[in-house]
Amino acid sequence: MLNLIKADALPTTPEARSLMRKAMVFLDESTGRITDTGRPEEMLALATALNRMVISTREQILDDAVAAFPVPDHPNA
């Protein structure tokens, strides 16, 4: 999905891009703590937080993509 966004294949709003940047910054900042195998409880908490951020970002991107396309015309029944 990130590759599609970088290629401008998916429409995104500033809000979606902001969420994506926050998730990437969080991952960069917590990589050392995630790879520290001596603290599995902290690794689980960090992974859970990152997962929530990614899900939130994905939902925003999908909402943006749906909103960017017009509603198809359907003949009246």
Q: Domain extents for the chain?
A: 2-67
pLDDT of 73 strictly over 70: yes
pLDDT band at 68 (very low <50, low <70, confident <90, very high): confident
pLDDT of 8 strictly over 90: no
pLDDT of res. 23: 86
Residue whose tokens read 């359907």: 74
Q: Which of 60, 4, 49, 5 is nearest to 27 (CA)?
A: 49
Instruction: Name residues whose C-beta falls within 8 Å of residue 16's C-beta, 6 or more positions apart in sequence.
Output: 5, 57, 60, 61, 64
pLDDT average, residue stretch 67-75: 74
pLDDT average, residue stretch 37-62: 85
Write the burial class of residue 69 (CB in 10 Å: 0-12 exposed, 13-18 middle, 19+ buried).
Answer: exposed
- Residue 51: CB atoms within 10 A of its CB come to 11
